[in-house]
Chain A
């Protein structure tokens, strides 16, 4: 591809190395997604694979298996997953102005638009001296690396877990809330973020005995929307220039927390 030839070899190597380390860190958590999808979400392996290949956004995928596993309606799962993905739409907006994809390419760009690929593209951009090719290369390197490793890990995790008899004996039901804690931790920056977090958890649990499974999450979404619309610039997290990472293992500057 001509994009390769327009980015210096040394830069390509360093970007690729970062992209791979992010991919492996995210892959490790794809392993738990695959395992939890079949044990807690009661999905079959094919359904777990479709989520990782087509939906391809960690937080939304965890929401789907969590709601489906609890007996929630497909509508609730779809709505919660879509609302968790709104940030991806804004990443697309940012990437549009960064690399200006045209025509059919916008569909492949959209598919790989997730926290990690966006973070890598932004980290390799320079407002003073924009280099569209470098950002595009970083986006593709991050997107492809995470896509491949995330999907491989999902398959491995799903197959391994499908042999487990009683998931509770292995504490896998406790792994799901731990996963949500890991997903939300990097997003809690300000006091109001923490307040929103606490109120959301309390409301969801509080209403759960009185409504059908899946509905508590929608009630919380409505509350969050009201709060967000009342104070539009309340949260530092609303700054999409610092793309938060859905996988806490990957950070915007490409450092990996994995071993």
Chain B
């Protein structure tokens, strides 16, 4: 049930934010500070999530197979690999390390 609240709530909010660009008067949104926040949020939030998803599990910080997997994804992205290839190579790295019993 709480998942549905998150799904519907996020969907409605996302749509309202998109709509604001078309309905809110231009001078209200067209400010350097709004542009700066719009640019900073994705970098900050995506990296926060990246860190959390790599280094934490159930509220505990720790190292496991996700760390080398992320490293492989970063290398793939630097080599201009498509998104899906970077993601798949990360999954394959973690799966292999676990299958070999080298990392949790």
Do B98 and A205 touch (CB < 8 A)? no
Q: Which of A55, A89, A220 contacts B10 (CB 8 A)?
A: A55
Residues of B within 8 A of A185 (CB): 77
Residue among B14, B66, B95 making CB contact with A177, cutoff 8 Å: B66
**Residues of chain B within 8 A of A78, CB atoms compared:** 6, 9-10, 13
Tell me the chain B residues, 11-68 only, with Cβ under 8 Å from chain A: 11-15, 17-24, 26, 29-30, 32-56, 58-61, 65-66
In the complex, identify which listed stretch (A4-12, A127-135, A209-217) lies at the interface while the others stay far away.
A209-217
Q: Evaluate contact between B41 and A217: CB separation under 8 angstroms.
A: no
- Given A51-B10, A55-B10, A87-B41, check contact A29 B48 (CB 8 Å): no
Query: What's the A-B contact tally at a CB cutoff of 8 Å?
Result: 345
Looking at chain B, what size class is its interface with the partner chain? 35 or more
Does more than half of chain A's interface fall in helix, strand or loop, or is it mixed? helix
**Bound-complex Cα distance A185 to B21 (A):** 25
A171 vs B66: C-alpha distance when bound (angstroms): 8
Query: Shortest distance in angstroms between B31's beta carbon and chain A's nearest beta carbon?
Result: 8
Residues in B with CB closer than 8 Å to A224 are 37, 40-41, 43-45
Given the interface pairs A84-B46, A171-B94, A221-B41, the reply to whether A201 lies near B51 with Cβ below 8 Å is: yes
The answer to whether A175 and B39 touch (CB under 8 A), given A50-B7, A63-B45, A89-B20, is no
A156 at the B interface (CB under 8 A): no
> Are the CB atoms of A74 and B53 closer together than 8 Å?
no
Q: List 11 A-B contacts (CB under 8 A).
A: A47-B3, A54-B14, A55-B15, A78-B6, A78-B9, A110-B18, A111-B15, A174-B91, A187-B43, A234-B36, A238-B35
